[in-house]
Structure 1
Amino acid sequence: MARQMTEMLKGVLEGIVLAIISGQPSYGYQIRARLQELGFADIAEGTVYALLVRIEQRGLVAVAKTPSEKGPPRKVYSLNARGGAYLDEFWESWGFLSDRIIQLRQGAAS
């Protein structure tokens, strides 16, 4: 089952991270911590940071650098209008897919 979960997460992790950022502007460590709180403890740190680079390059987030007590400034990500529209589309797609999956599961139980 772990392999199935990993493959499923690959398809939806971007939407999950954008949803986290939509709740409040966050930097990478905060996003990863929130993912862990939600039960996604197996997601590697490198996966989260690579995803953040991709969504920044795609223009889905605004980035502000803020001072850090330790090390270089932190990149704080916030959802911009383009990212908000993308997240709305993600939720619409997710709703469609989850409804169909539930229908299939209920049909299989009959």
Structure 2
Amino acid sequence: MVPGDSAILTHLRRGALEYCVLAMLRGGPTYGFEIARHLTRDGVLMGSEGTLYPLLSRLRKAGLVDTTWQESPSGPPRRYYALTDSGSRALEDFTRTWQPFRDAVDAALSEGAAP
């Protein structure tokens, strides 16, 4: 990573990470550690799992996810997170908006290189 990349990633993550979490829940309820493991595997979407639990709490308070406790075969009960109808709509809205936004950024970056 070159200097400045960390600040850039922080800003980009701030806008997109919650939708990445919502997208992970499309397939059904998932517990926090599994979400964290998936999002931290390359260090790009999330640097550490310490940012996940406050984000999940905000999503729950906003009504975008619900939680349930389920027994675990290998330890204490786990809190599972599931997408609500509002969460599904928010994810659909983001998905519809993301591609044109991404394309506009790509175009701006490409045009900036042209004379």
Q: Secondary structure at the match of 1:40?
A: coil
Task: Provide TM-score, normalisation by structure 1.
Answer: 0.87
The number of residues matched between the two structures is: 109
Give 2:93's aligned residue: 89
Runs of 4+ in 1 over 2 A off after TM superposition: 36-44
Distance 1:45 1:39, change over 3 A: closer
Structure 2 Cα separation of the partners of residues 3 and 36 of structure 1: 17
Q: Secondary structure at the match of 2:75?
A: coil
Structure 2 Cα separation of the partners of residues 11 and 108 of structure 1: 23
Distance 1:96 1:51, change over 3 A: same
Q: Give the residue type in structure 2 aligned to 1:81.
A: D
Unaligned runs of 5+ in 1: none
Q: CA RMSD in A?
A: 1.7
Greater Cα shift, 49-58 or 96-105:
96-105
Task: Provide TM-score, normalisation by structure 2.
Answer: 0.83
Structure 2 Cα separation of the partners of residues 59 and 42 of structure 1: 22
1:61 corresponds to which of 55, 65, 69: 65
Deviation, 1:6, is 1.4
Distance 1:17 1:38, change over 3 A: farther
Give 2:79's aligned residue: 75
Deviation, 1:39, is 4.2
Give 2:6's aligned residue: 2
